[in-house]
Amino acid sequence: MTQSMPALFLADSPGLDFLNSVATVVDVPVDWLEDGEGLLSWLQQADLVPDEIVGSIRARAIPGEIDRIASQARTLREWFRTFVRERRGRSLKTADLGELEPLNQLLKRDDGYRAIVARPSDESSVLHLIHTRRWASPEALLLPIAEAMARLVCDEDFSYVKACEGPTCTLLFADHTRGHARRWCSMANCGNRAKQAAHRLRNKPLVDV
């Protein structure tokens, strides 16, 4: 069943947002990829797959096919979560490449190409070059996810990949703040709850012994 709650995009990194597609929200576990419709909805919310492609794949898929792709996405997510959690807090090394073979194998399946397209009318340059792909089958839904994961590995300094300090929060994020002092998935969620807890502690009446 597709989740009615909007997905969370707090990580400042699409690859980490993918890991955060399962999360504990206000103490309740939520998995936005629990079925095929959930996967399609999450990909649209993440702006990883155009709406018209989602509609086309949904129309062409045989019964149960997108549910199967969602299951593959969940397996991919948990494999990558282990890779990230074991290495967050330190820069990646060449030796880590060997553990990324499953991701490289998935990237090899991409039927991508470059295309020249028109820019929006308010832009100064008329044409620009984009990377796009042929969405030949529902399996192609995994390819923009794989690309987001690869960009995380290649473009982010894992020294600043962190886990939220909320006691029950499971979210990861890339700390791009000045001084790299970010502690929470968001101040509106775990940050605010931590401030409230600290306030209650400071104002707790002293008990005479």
- Tens of pLDDT, residue by residue over 75-114, are 999 999 999 999 999 999 999 999 999 999 999 999 999 9
How confident is the model over 136-177, as pLDDT tens digits? 999 999 999 999 999 999 999 999 999 999 888 999 999 999
Q: pTM score, two decimals?
A: 0.87
Nearest to 22 by CA among 12, 33, 11: 33
Could you tell me if residue 209 is inside a domain? no
CA–CA separation, 175 and 41 (whole Å): 27
Could you tell me if residue 5 is inside a domain? no
Residue 177: which domain range? 14-202
Could you tell me if residue 102 is inside a domain? yes
Residue 204 confidence class, pLDDT cut points 50, 70, 90: low
Check pLDDT > 50 for residue 199. no
Could you tell me if residue 3 is inside a domain? no
Contact partners, residue 202, CB within 8 Å, separation at least 6: none
Contact partners, residue 172, CB within 8 Å, separation at least 6: 11, 16, 19, 20, 84, 85, 88, 161, 162, 163, 164
Could you tell me if residue 46 is inside a domain? yes
Average pLDDT across the chain, whole number: 90
Report the CATH number that the domain containing residue 179 is assigned in CATH: 1.10.3300.10
Say how far residue 158 (Cα) sits from the centre of its chain. 15
Q: How many domains does the chain have?
A: 1
pLDDT at residue 198, as a whole number: 54
Could you tell me if residue 6 is inside a domain? no
- What is the CA angle 199-204-208, rounded to 5? 160
Could you tell me if residue 66 is inside a domain? yes
